[in-house]
């Protein structure tokens, strides 16, 4: 059985990319790709400020097999 573990604040960028990241706060502003699977709150649904930048970071961090060409 897999368990959740609380870790040090802001240590998630160094976690293995196979580790899902669970968070309630917005991600820090950055252009860095996001290769992890995230379960988090983001202001993207209603196209609030910065929504396209947040989603673009996930796209840039995705494995090539995860990006649809259509």
Q: Which residues are catalytic?
A: 25, 43
Does residue 52 sit in helix, strand or coil? helix
Give dist(CA 23, CA 34) in Å, integer.
14
User: What is the 3-state secondary structure of 29-45?
Assistant: CCCCCCCCCEEECCCCC
């Amino acid at each position: 059985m897999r368990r959740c573990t609380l870790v040090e604040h802001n240590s998630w960028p160094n976690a293995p990319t196979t580790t899902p990241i669970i968070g309630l706060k917005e991600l820090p502003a950055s252009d860095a790709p996001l290769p992890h699977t995230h379960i988090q709150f983001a202001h993207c649904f209603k196209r609030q400020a910065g929504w396209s930048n947040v989603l673009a970071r996930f796209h840039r961090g995705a494995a090539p097999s995860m990006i649809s060409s259509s």
